[in-house]
Structures are given as structure tokens and as C-alpha cells.
């Protein structure tokens, strides 16, 4: 019985490690020679190429999204957050089928789902990989401290969130359970 208790405590600790938000410590000074997030050009669900430099001067909340996930209702709050802070924030959605195959649709089906079910107006990009060897260049930047200055957290599930400052610096990573209007995110948007 004692071994079972120890194992449960260890599993709980591991779960908490993966469910905690991580933010850039103020003590970290980012080197000036880091690649810029503004160098990325990505295709929208419509196939239109969009440069992230378009969003310079605004914060970016980058979220890996999915249509068939328990967290999918966060789309509604992401849209509301986008509207609430539209003057200084852009939400960017990145569909991925890497977690439980919960985004099986084509880009056209994803676009239709987002419009019909959540009236999404924020940019949603082509389906891509957000973890592992095949991850997109943007997610390579978000998860490699040699590129972003401090963070190595890959998404653990759908609806992980990365917050980028208006200067293009990664300032936070938030797991799926952190809702878009959670104070930990909102305190950085006001």
C-alpha cells in the first residue's frame, strides 16, 4: 500500500509539472542575435501567405487548436479575447491533429467548423505539426531556447498557449487547462 501511495504522489507531481504555466523570468536578458518571430510567413486556412511582421507592435497569443477536443469550447473565449483586446492583441490559431487525432478535417473543413460553430474572426492557419521532429518552423522557434531565448516547452495537448510580447519576445507558455480569460494571461494584456 505504501508503494502505491508513493507512485500516486510521483504521478501527481509529474502531472503538475506538465500542467503548470511557465513565464519568462524577468532576470533573463535575451541575446540580441536571436531569430525574430517576425521573419515567419505562414499560410492561412485559405492558402494566403501572412507574415507575422504584420502583427509587430501587438501581443500574439499563439494556440494549437482542434475541433474534436474537450477544450474546443475555448474557441469561444479565444474569439471574445480577440475582440476584447483587439487594439493590442492578435490571437493566432494553429490546427494540429497530433493529440488524439482530434483535428482530422481538411483546411476547408476546419475553416467551416470555426465559422459555423464559433464565428471565428481571428487568423487560423493551415493544419501543421506543433511537436516532434516534423514540427513547423514557428513551433520550432516557440520551443527551442536557442531561438526564443528561454523556453523549451512543446505543447502537451490541444489548446496550449504561447504569449509573445509586442516586441516579438516569447513571454509565456500556458497549458490547455489555462483558459483564455484566466488572470495569468489577462494580467499581461491590460
Domains of the chain with bracketed CATH: 2-186 (3.40.30.10)
The active-site residue out of 63, 66, 69, 92 is 69
pLDDT for the residue numbered 20: 84
Mind listing the pLDDT tens digit of every residue in the chain (190 residues)?
A: 555 444 444 444 444 444 588 887 776 677 778 899 999 999 999 999 999 999 999 999 999 999 999 999 999 999 999 999 999 999 999 999 999 999 999 999 999 999 999 999 999 999 999 999 999 999 999 999 999 999 999 999 999 999 999 999 999 999 999 999 999 999 999 8
Helices 107-118 and 74-84 sit at what angle, rounded to 10 degrees? 70
pLDDT for the residue numbered 13: 41
pLDDT for the residue numbered 1: 54
Instruction: Look at residue 33 and give its three-state secondary structure.
Output: coil
188: left (phi over 0), alpha (psi -120 to 50) or beta: alpha
pLDDT for the residue numbered 19: 59
Q: Hey, which residues does 62 pair with through a beta bridge? A: 92, 162
pLDDT for the residue numbered 16: 45
The C-alpha cell of 138 is what?
514557428
pLDDT for the residue numbered 22: 85
Q: Hey, which residues does 125 pair with through a beta bridge? A: 44
Name the burial class of residue 130, with classes exposed (0-12), middle (13-18) and buried (19+) by CB atoms within 10 angstroms of its CB.
buried
Q: Establish whether 69 is a catalytic residue.
A: yes
pLDDT for the residue numbered 31: 73
Can you tell me the distance from the alpha carbon of 176 to that of 155, in angstroms, rounded to the nearest whole number?
A: 9
Amino acid at each position: 500500500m505504501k508503494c502505491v501511495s508513493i507512485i500516486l504522489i510521483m504521478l501527481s507531481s509529474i502531472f503538475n509539472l506538465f500542467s503548470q504555466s511557465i513565464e519568462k523570468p524577468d532576470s533573463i536578458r535575451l541575446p540580441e542575435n536571436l531569430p525574430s518571430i517576425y521573419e515567419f510567413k505562414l499560410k492561412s486556412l485559405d492558402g494566403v501567405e501572412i507574415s507575422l511582421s504584420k502583427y509587430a507592435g501587438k501581443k500574439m497569443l499563439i494556440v494549437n487548436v482542434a475541433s474534436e477536443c474537450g477544450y474546443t469550447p475555448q474557441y469561444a473565449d479565444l474569439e471574445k479575447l480577440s475582440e476584447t483586446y483587439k487594439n493590442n492583441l492578435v490571437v493566432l490559431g494553429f490546427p494540429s491533429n497530433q493529440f488524439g487525432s482530434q483535428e482530422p478535417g481538411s483546411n476547408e473543413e476546419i475553416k467551416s467548423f470555426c465559422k459555423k460553430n464559433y464565428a471565428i474572426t481571428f487568423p487560423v492557419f493551415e493544419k501543421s505539426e506543433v511537436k516532434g521532429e516534423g514540427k513547423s518552423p514557428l513551433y520550432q522557434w516557440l520551443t527551442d531556447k536557442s531561438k526564443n531565448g528561454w523556453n523549451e516547452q512543446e505543447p502537451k495537448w490541444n489548446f496550449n498557449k504561447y504569449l509573445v510580447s509586442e516586441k516579438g519576445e516569447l513571454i509565456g507558455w500556458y497549458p490547455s487547462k489555462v483558459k483564455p480569460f484566466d488572470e495569468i494571461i489577462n494580467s499581461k494584456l491590460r
